[in-house]
Amino acid sequence: YKGVTPPNPHTQSFPVTKDERTYRVFCLGGSTTQGTPYPPNGAFPAFLKYVLKTLHPDKRIEVINCGVTAIASYSVVDMAEEILERYQPDLLVVYTGHNEFYGVFGLGSQLSLFRSRSLVRWFLKLQQFRLFRLIREVAVELGNLSLRRDRPQPIGTLMGAVIRDARILYGDEVFRRTERYYRQNLQELVQAAQVHRTDIILCTLASNLRDLPPFASAHGGALSAEDSLRCEELLNAARQALEAGRVEAALPPLQEAFRLDSTYAETRYLLGKYYDARQEYREAYRHYRWARDYDVIRFRAPSSFNRIIREVAGEYGAPVADVAKAFADASPGGIMGNNLFTEHVHPNHRGYFLIGKTVARTMAEQGMLSPRWDWGRDLPDSSYLAMAHLSPLALELANAGIFRLTSYWPFRTAGQRRTYHRVGDARTEALALHYIRSPKISPVQLHIQLGNEYLSKGKIEKALAEFEAAAAREPQHCRANLYAGQVYGRKVVALLQGHEDPRRALRVFQRAEAYLQKAALYCPKDPEVHLNLGKLYSLMPGKKEKARAEFRRVLELDPRNNEARRGLAALEKPSGR
């Protein structure tokens, strides 16, 4: 899995000039906003849209995902200024902070062009091309670093490529300056929104505490070499005791290690594990939190960042979506871990839904979009998760992406081998691993390929799941919409022939129609699309004129299409004979 993949924001389209009836939301941030490792339909902006459209079916709602991998708050401010000036947002939702040290312009990053915040802001103002172009071009150059012989280990991922100063101690000069710049960027961001009379929501940050050991620990400078070696021996003894289930035997060595150096991240993490095993969750949380804060490889935002978010929001009267609290409330013992995360900071699909729902609740509390929200329309979590159309292959592709990311530094050192554990079946595993090794075929094409395989075997529901996943991932993909519409059309025929509940048949018809109409929108000159629409309309009472129009459209595009001619002829036959 060689090579660094440059950041790719999701392709989305919306009218430059907003209709006055439209409520437009922009979500800004890094890879968590983007939805890593999931497709855009599994990111939190998508779940936010599902919730908003469910609760406000009478509203025209746009939610645009502006997440870009590896960007820090500098880039978010710059992006927000362009959005505010050009695209008439009603609301900005901001989830940013995990990339402050190593992201674009971070002080510990290869992408740090200046040590001064004012110079960075000046540089961004001078750019004559889109910010993303700059980020991508620099990232491509960084990709070449993975092949340099002077690197201590293969990079493999963008996480490894961006690092310049890997170890940043808690409270050192770089740490404090990064805190200060982060605060100033958030202040500038909120001020810009308020100048444009645009609502803004700042989200607190969540990360994996329970199930992610510190990437690296460092002893304080006053600790002697002898005490440092003694500390490692104590931690090894405590680790072995915990792994063997001898919980109480772990405490004495941990206490002595803590006495030697209370700022050593691994000591704090193992103390968290000790108290967690004893179900003393308050104490466990305290140590897990310090383990994250003392972790000297800073891919997780420290606790101080959430304090800064709340202080800036309070200073300017901006609302906060408390994602960190929502994650804690949804976790055993109030400690977030692999129940909601895929690795260090990126949530699983349930975690992404939780972010979207938390933002929606914050909007409701603030009276945004509507003074009153009808929560009686709310659906079970499972219904919103189903709206994402994360098929077995979509989940396998995400799982393979996680596997690739966590196979490299800082999760693994060079030479460590891992075994892939699939989440689907042998076929989804084969397709996903082939994709991450050689991504010459797009995920949408993989969904369509697997869907057609299922269809050839008569596995209609499995085929439909993959076609809908393809259409959800790339809504403007003509064939994905066509194939999903075709399968729903087959289901309509089966329901009508089986004399099933006509209301159910109507619901399935509406799904088929929606997919086929979308295919016609993006491929208006494709005769197969119009032929399928004609066949679908001919099934339903009161839709005969629409069927005729579609069959005639087919013949305009393909005068020799005999199936369309037969369809028209069938419509002319008297009913009941």
Task: List the CATH number of the domain containing 46.
Answer: 3.40.50.1110
What pLDDT is attached to residue 440? 83
* pLDDT reading at 575 higher than 70: no
Same domain, 95 and 236: no
Residue 231: in which H helix or E strand, if any?
helix 225-243
In a domain, 11, yes or no: no
Q: Give the integer Cα–Cα distance in Å for 55 and 372.
A: 10
Q: Quick count: other Cβ atoms within 10 Å of Cβ 289? A: 17
Q: Which residues pair with 61 in a beta bridge?
A: 23
One-letter-per-residue 3-state SS of 370-388:
CCCCCHHHCCCHHHHHHHC
Give the pLDDT mean for 279-301. Answer: 98
* Mean pLDDT value across the chain: 91
Asked if the model's pLDDT at residue 556 lies above 60, the reply is yes
Is residue 356 helix, strand or coil?
Answer: helix
Mention every residue, 6+ apart, whose C-beta is less than 8 A from residue 371.
none
Angle at 369 between CA 364 and CA 371, to 5 degrees: 65
pLDDT at 27: 98
Question: Quick check: is 471 in a domain?
Answer: no
Q: How far apart are CA 381 and CA 554, in angstroms?
A: 42
- What is the average pLDDT across 345-349? 98
SS3 39: coil
Count of residues in the chain: 577
Looking at the domain assignment, is residue 218 inside a domain?
A: no
Cβ count near 284 (within 10 Å): 23
pLDDT of residue 151: 42
Please state the rounded mean pLDDT for residues 285-289: 99
Given this model, what pLDDT does residue 306 score?
99
Please report whether residue 554 resides in a domain.
yes
Is the pLDDT confidence value at 1 over 80? no
What residues contact 544, with CB distance under 8 A and at least 6 apart?
Answer: 537, 538, 571
Q: Do 163 and 178 share a structural domain?
A: yes
Question: Which residues have C-beta within 8 Å of that of residue 289, sequence separation ≥ 6?
Answer: 209, 303
Report pLDDT for 158: 57
Question: How sure is the predictor about 106, in pLDDT bands with cuts at 50, 70 and 90?
Answer: confident
Considering the domain architecture, whether residues 245 and 376 belong to the same structural domain is answered as no
* Whether residue 372 sits in one domain with residue 397: no
Q: What is the CATH number of the domain that holds 230?
A: 1.25.40.10
pLDDT of residue 114: 53
Q: Range with the lowest mean pLDDT among 101-115, 369-383, 478-492?
A: 101-115
Q: Looking at residue 572, what is its pLDDT? A: 86
243 falls within a domain: yes
Considering the domain architecture, whether residues 189 and 43 belong to the same structural domain is answered as yes
Q: Given a cut of 80, is residue 119 above it in pLDDT?
A: no
Question: In this structure, are 175 and 232 located in the same domain?
Answer: no
Same structural domain, 67 and 174: yes
For residue 134, the model assigns a pLDDT of: 57
By percentage, how much of the chain surpasses pLDDT 90?
Answer: 78
Query: Are 21 and 82 spatial neighbours (Cβ–Cβ below 8 Å)?
Result: no
- Among 294, 323, 344, the domain boundary falls at 294
Q: Which of 330, 353, 386 is the last residue of a domain?
A: 386
Residues sharing a CB contact under 8 Å with residue 200, sequence separation 6 or more, in sequence order: 91, 92, 93, 94, 189, 190, 193, 194, 318
Structure tokens belonging to residue 351: 């975690």
With respect to residue 434, please indicate whether it lies within any of the assigned structural domains.
Answer: yes
Asked if residue 37 belongs to a domain, the reply is yes
Mean pLDDT to the nearest integer, 131-158: 49
Share of the chain above pLDDT 70, in %: 87
Domain shared by 280 and 376, yes or no: no
pLDDT at 31: 96
Domain end point (choices 265, 294, 323): 294
- The pLDDT of residue 532 is above 90: yes
For 136-154, what is the mean pLDDT?
46
Check pLDDT > 50 for residue 412.
yes
For residue 442, what pLDDT is reported?
94
Task: Please work out, in degrees rounded to the nearest 5, the angle formed at the alpha carbon of residue 277 by the alpha carbons of 273 and 282.
Answer: 75
Domain count of the fold of the chain: 4
- Give pLDDT tens digits for 267-286: 999 999 999 999 999 999 99
What phi and psi, each to the nearest 5 degrees, are found at residue 6? -65, 155
Peptide bond into 37 cis (omega under 30): yes
Are both 577 and 436 inside the same structural domain? no
Structural domain that includes position 452: 389-463
Q: How confident is the model at residue 104 (pLDDT cuts 50, 70, 90)?
A: confident
Report which of residues 376 and 131 the model is more confident about: 376
pLDDT band at 154 (very low <50, low <70, confident <90, very high): very low
CA angle 4, 429, 472 (to 5 degrees): 75
pLDDT of res. 126: 56
Say whether both 418 and 459 belong to one domain: yes
pLDDT of residue 145: 45
Q: Are residues 174 and 103 in the same domain?
A: yes
Is position 220 within any domain?
Answer: no
Spatial separation of the C-alpha atoms in residues 367 and 7, rounded to whole Å: 35
Own/partner long-range contacts of 152-155 (Cβ < 8 Å, ≥24 apart): 152/414, 153/409, 153/413, 153/414, 154/2, 154/408, 154/409, 154/414, 155/4, 155/408, 155/409
Distance from C-alpha of 443 to C-alpha of 27, rounded to nearest angstrom? 24
Is the same domain home to 370 and 415? no
The 10s digit of each residue's pLDDT in 20-62 is 899 999 999 999 999 999 999 999 999 999 999 999 999 999 9
